[in-house]
C-alpha cells in the first residue's frame, strides 16, 4: 500500500455554486458520499478544501506577494490523502471524484518515501 | 417585568434541559465517541447557557427545541475544529469529521430524527451496560439520558451530591477502561443486554413508585423517565418485542394510581380506600393496549406476569370484587420465574384475601429467613401487623407495627402506622 496526494485544481468555483445554494448543497453531498465510500474501504486518510486567499513567499529575501498567479483552472482548491495499492488504483479512486462534474482537474501524486 | 421575563426564561430552559439534553448528549456522543462523553456534555451545557443569555435579551424563538439543536450542532462543529488535531472522534466517522469537505454534512446527518433516536438507544445500552457496576447505572442514565442534575439524582436516590459525582466519575472511567462501545448490540448479545436494560428501567420506575422517602415531584419524574425510556426502546426495532411492552404495560397500570395513593396532606391511602374514579383512565387504557402487544408471541416473562397482576388490580370494579384467585395463580407463576422474598410476601397477602389472615401469616413464616428480613425491613412488619389486626390479635399487631415504625424512614409511613396503632385495643 502506498499513500497518494490528490490535488484538486479548478472546478470548485464556489462563488458560482453559492449563488444557487441548492446546487452547492447537492455538490457537497456528492463529495461527502465519495469520501464516505473511500473511508469505508479504508482508503481515506485526510484532506481539506482550501480557501482562495493566498500569499506567495519567494526568494532569499522572502518577498511576499498576493496569490499564486495562475489561471482559475490551475488554482489548487483542495487536497486529499488516500491509500492505494499503486498509481493505477489511485487514479481509479480519483475517477469517481465529483470535481469532474464541475469541470475540474485531479492531479495524483505518490507520496515519496525518503531514504533514512 | 424584567424579573418575570427572566424567571420564565429560566423555567423554560430548565424544562427544555430535562426534555432535550438527553437527545443532544446522545447525538453528540455518537459524533465525538463515548470516550468524549464529557465533551458532549460540555457542548450541551454551552448550548443551554447560550439559550439563557440570548432569550433574556431577544424574543424566544418559535421553536426553542430546534433552536437548541442548531446551536448544539454549530458548537459541535466548532469543537471538532478545535480538537481534531488532538483527539479522535467516533471511530467510524473520525476521518469524515477531520476533513472540512465532510465535517458539517456528517454532523448534520447525526442530527436527523432517526439518527438521534438511534443514538439514544446506543446511550441506553451504554448506561445499562453489564460491565458497569449496578450502582452506577441509574445515576448515569439519569444524568446523560434524562438531564437530571447532580442534586436531583442525589435527592432521588437518597444520597448526597458528592457520592453521585464520584459514581458518575467512576462510571465514565469504567466506560473507558472496559472499552465499552457506544453501540446497539446485535445477535445473541442483544438478548442479554436487553435484560440489563429492562432491569435498570424496572428499578428506576420502582425507585420512583415505591421509595416513599424522596419528594413527591422527583419521584414522579423518575417514573416518567422510566416510562419515556421504555417507550423509546419499544419504538426502535431492537426493542419492539413483547417483553418491552409487558414492562411498559406494568408501568402504565402502576402509574395510573400514582396520585391516588396520597392525600393532599401527604397521607398514604391504602388500595382498599382509594377512590377508583381518581385513577388515570388514560394510563389504564395504555396499560391494556401494551398488555395486548405483550401477548403477541409465545414469551412469558416476569414482566408479563407482573403486568397481568397490576391489570387485575387496575381493572377490578372495586377492591372487594378483585379476582384474588386469579391473582394468586399469577403469583404462583411469578414465583417460578422470580422466587424472591418480596414476591412471596405479596403472594402471602393475596392468599390471605382468599383464605383469611391466618393463612397469610403462615405463608410469611414459611419465607426463608423471614425473621432476619423482618428485623431489617419495615414492610414485613407492616404487612404482618395488618394481618394480625385482621386476625384480631392486637398484641402481636402492636409489636409488628411498632417495629415497622422504627424501621421506616418515610414520615408518611410512620404516620400511617401511628394511625393504625391508635385503632388497637390498649395493652392490658
Q: What are the pLDDT digits (tens) for B363-412?
A: 999 999 999 999 988 899 999 999 999 999 999 999 999 999 999 888 88
Higher pLDDT, B208 or B288: B288
Domain annotation covers residue A115: no
Question: What is the residue range of A7's domain?
Answer: 2-110
Domain annotation covers residue B322: no
pLDDT value of residue B1: 42
pLDDT value of residue A12: 56
Interface residue B372 vs chain A (CB under 8 A): no
CATH of the domain at A77: 3.30.70.1060
User: Residue B44: which residues within 8 A CB-CB, separation 6 or more?
Assistant: B21, B24, B25, B28, B72
What average pLDDT does range A80-87 have in this prediction?
Answer: 96
- Of B82, B111, B140, the last residue of a domain is B111
pLDDT value of residue B268: 83
- Of B111, B144, B172, the last residue of a domain is B111
Domain annotation covers residue B400: yes
Element at A48 (helix H, strand E): strand A44-49
- Which of B93, B95, B102 has its CB closest to that of A31? B102
Q: Which residues pair with A44 in a beta bridge?
A: A82
pLDDT value of residue A13: 60
Domain annotation covers residue B419: yes
3-state secondary structure of A55: strand
Task: Report the percent of chain A where pLDDT is more than 90.
Answer: 46
Q: How far is it, in rounded angstroms, from Cα B213 to Cα B262?
A: 13
Question: What is the residue range of B417's domain?
Answer: 351-428
Number of structural domains (chain B) is: 2
- Of B95, B111, B127, the last residue of a domain is B111
pLDDT value of residue B9: 85
Q: What value of ipTM does the predicted structure carry? A: 0.87
Chain A residue with CA closest to B84: the answer is A46
Chain B residue with CA closest to A12: the answer is B101
Checking if the pLDDT of B346 tops 80, the result is: yes
pLDDT band at B212 (very low <50, low <70, confident <90, very high): low
Sign for the CA dihedral angle at B189, B192, B195, B200 comes to: negative
pLDDT value of residue B5: 64
Domain annotation covers residue B397: yes
Q: What are the pLDDT digits (tens) for B296-331?
A: 988 899 999 999 999 999 999 999 999 999 999 999
pLDDT value of residue B318: 92
Q: How far is it, in rounded angstroms, from Cα B419 to Cα B424?
A: 9
Strands, E assignment, B140-274:
none
Domain annotation covers residue B132: no
Best residue of B77, B98, B101 to probe chain A, by most A CBs closer than 10 Å: B101
Contact at 8 Å (CB) between B373 and B380?
A: yes
Q: Which three cell numbers stand for residue A69?
A: 498567479
Nearest to B303 by CA among B230, B409, B357: B230
In angstroms, the Cα distances linking B344 to A4, B30, B204, B334, B380 are 70, 44, 22, 9, 11
Identify the weakest region by mean pLDDT among A95-99, B145-149, B214-218, B354-358: B214-218
Nearest to A98 by CA among A51, A49, A53, A40: A49
pLDDT value of residue B219: 83
pLDDT value of residue A28: 80
Average model confidence (pLDDT) for chain B?
Answer: 92
Domain annotation covers residue A58: yes
Sign for the CA dihedral angle at B173, B223, B240, B247 comes to: positive
Amino acid at each position: 500500500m502506498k499513500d497518494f496526494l490528490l490535488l484538486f485544481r479548478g472546478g470548485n468555483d464556489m462563488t458560482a455554486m453559492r449563488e444557487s445554494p441548492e446546487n452547492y448543497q447537492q455538490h457537497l453531498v456528492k463529495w461527502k458520499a465519495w469520501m464516505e465510500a473511500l473511508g469505508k474501504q479504508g482508503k481515506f486518510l485526510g484532506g481539506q478544501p482550501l480557501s482562495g486567499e493566498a500569499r506567495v513567499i519567494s526568494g532569499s529575501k522572502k518577498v511576499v506577494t498576493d496569490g499564486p498567479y495562475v489561471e482559475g483552472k490551475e488554482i489548487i482548491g483542495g487536497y486529499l490523502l488516500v491509500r492505494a495499492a499503486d498509481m493505477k488504483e489511485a487514479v481509479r479512486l480519483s475517477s469517481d471524484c465529483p470535481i469532474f462534474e464541475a469541470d475540474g482537474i485531479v492531479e495524483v501524486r505518490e507520496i515519496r518515501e525518503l531514504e533514512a | 417585568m424584567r424579573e418575570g421575563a427572566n424567571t420564565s426564561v429560566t423555567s423554560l430552559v430548565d424544562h427544555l434541559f430535562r426534555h432535550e439534553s438527553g437527545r443532544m448528549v446522545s447525538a453528540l456522543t455518537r459524533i465525538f465517541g463515548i470516550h468524549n462523553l464529557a465533551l458532549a456534555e460540555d457542548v450541551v451545557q454551552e448550548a443551554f447557557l447560550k439559550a439563557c443569555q440570548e432569550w433574556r435579551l431577544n424574543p424566544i424563538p418559535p421553536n426553542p427545541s430546534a433552536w437548541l439543536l442548531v446551536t448544539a450542532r454549530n458548537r459541535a462543529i466548532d469543537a471538532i475544529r478545535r480538537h481534531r488535531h488532538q483527539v479522535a472522534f467516533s471511530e467510524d466517522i473520525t476521518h469524515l469529521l477531520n476533513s472540512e469537505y465532510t465535517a458539517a454534512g456528517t454532523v448534520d446527518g447525526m442530527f436527523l430524527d432517526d439518527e438521534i433516536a438511534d443514538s439514544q438507544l446506543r446511550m441506553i445500552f451504554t448506561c445499562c451496560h453489564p460491565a458497569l457496576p449496578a450502582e452506577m447505572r441509574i445515576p448515569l442514565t439519569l444524568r446523560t439520558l434524562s438531564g437530571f442534575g447532580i442534586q436531583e439524582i442525589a435527592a432521588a436516590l437518597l444520597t448526597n451530591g458528592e457520592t453521585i459525582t464520584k459514581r458518575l466519575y467512576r462510571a465514565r472511567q469504567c466506560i473507558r477502561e472496559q472499552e465499552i462501545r457506544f453501540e446497539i448490540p446485535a445477535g445473541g448479545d442483544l438478548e442479554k443486554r436487553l435484560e440489563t436494560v429492562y432491569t435498570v428501567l424496572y428499578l428506576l420506575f420502582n425507585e420512583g413508585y415505591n421509595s416513599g422517602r424522596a419528594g413527591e415531584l422527583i419521584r414522579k419524574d423518575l417514573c416518567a423517565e422510566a416510562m419515556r425510556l421504555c417507550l423509546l426502546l419499544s419504538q426502535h426495532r431492537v426493542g419492539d418485542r413483547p417483553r418491552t411492552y409487558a414492562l411498559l404495560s406494568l408501568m402504565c397500570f402502576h402509574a395510573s394510581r400514582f396520585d391516588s395513593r396520597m392525600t393532599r396532606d401527604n397521607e398514604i391511602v391504602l388500595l382498599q380506600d382509594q377512590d377508583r374514579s381518581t385513577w388515570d383512565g388514560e394510563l389504564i387504557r395504555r396499560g391494556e393496549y401494551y398488555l395486548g402487544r405483550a401477548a403477541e408471541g409465545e414469551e412469558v416473562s416476569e414482566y408479563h406476569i407482573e403486568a397481568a397482576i397490576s391489570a387485575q388490580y387496575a381493572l377490578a370494579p372495586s377492591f372487594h370484587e378483585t379476582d384474588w384467585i386469579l391473582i394468586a395463580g399469577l403469583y404462583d407463576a411469578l414465583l417460578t420465574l422470580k422466587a424472591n422474598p418480596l414476591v412471596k410476601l405479596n403472594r402471602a397477602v393475596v392468599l390471605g384475601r382468599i383464605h383469611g389472615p391466618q393463612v397469610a401469616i403462615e405463608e410469611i413464616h414459611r419465607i426463608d429467613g423471614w425473621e432476619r428480613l423482618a428485623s431489617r425491613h419495615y414492610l414485613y412488619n407492616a404487612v404482618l401487623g395488618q394481618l394480625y389486626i385482621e386476625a384480631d390479635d392486637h398484641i402481636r399487631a402492636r409489636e409488628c407495627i411498632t417495629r415497622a415504625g422504627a424501621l421506616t424512614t418515610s414520615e408518611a409511613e410512620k404516620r400511617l402506622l401511628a394511625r393504625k396503632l391508635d385503632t388497637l385495643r390498649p395493652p392490658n
